[in-house]
Amino acid sequence: MNITFYLAATIAVLATVMVITRANGVHALLYLVVSLLAIALVFYSLGAPFAAALEVIVYAGAIMVLFVFVVMMLNLGEIAAVREAQWMAPRIWIGPSILSLILTAQLAYMLVSNEIGNTGRAVVDARAVGLALYGPYLLCVELASMLLLAALVGAYRLAETGRSGVIKGGH
């Protein structure tokens, strides 16, 4: 179990590094998918199979497909890739990477010094997730669903076409 976890975690980190260094949008998204799959495996190895499955279905399977869809629609091509490559100059990435290095160091220190790494390894199945969501976290679920409903209505309004087929919203 440990080997799976560390392997998946390493892949996730490497894939994420690849995501931010790719100049081609679709390649970056593909690495992001790999990263998400690796994180799903991490969840699974930590005893959360339900979260792992949802990670794959929702993030890797649906949201990322939509991302790819949008990038395909934009059809950025060679010019965008060249421009992206120019943006990858050291003076751009050196600042954020120092900050994230500090964060990584903190995380590593905490992992080594503390017993946070001990996750208990109790399997959290779908029933447990459901009970938690509709028990102690009911209010959060309802708030999130209200937010999503608002987003849905907003999206419908923006994309609504009149009788003439002209998009009404988004002036």
Evaluated on CA atoms 151, 167, 64, 99, the torsion sign reads negative
- C-alpha to C-alpha distance for 171 and 168, rounded to whole angstroms: 8
User: What is the SS3 assignment for 1?
Assistant: coil
Residue 76 DSSP label = -
Q: Which span (68-76, 86-94, 112-120, 159-167) binds other proteins, by CB under 8 A?
A: 68-76
Q: If phi over 0 gives left and psi between -120 and 50 gives alpha, with beta otherwise, what is residue 10?
A: alpha
Answer yes or no whether residue 47 interacts with other proteins by CB under 8 A. no
Decide whether 72 or 101 has the Cβ nearer to other proteins: 72
CB of 24 to other proteins, least distance (A): 8
For 163, the token pair is: 């009788």
Q: Figure out which of the listed residues 75, 114, 118, 164 binds other proteins, where binding follows CB under 8 A.
A: 75
Angle between helices 25-45 and 64-74 (to 10 degrees): 180
CB of 142 to other proteins, least distance (A): 18
Partners of 161 in the β-ladder: 167
Q: Which span (4-12, 52-60, 85-93, 150-158) binds other proteins, by CB under 8 A?
A: 52-60
Answer yes or no whether residue 39 interacts with other proteins by CB under 8 A. no
Q: Which residues bind other proteins (CB under 8 A)?
A: 24, 26-27, 30, 33, 49-50, 52-54, 56-57, 60-62, 65-66, 68-69, 72-73, 75, 123, 125-126
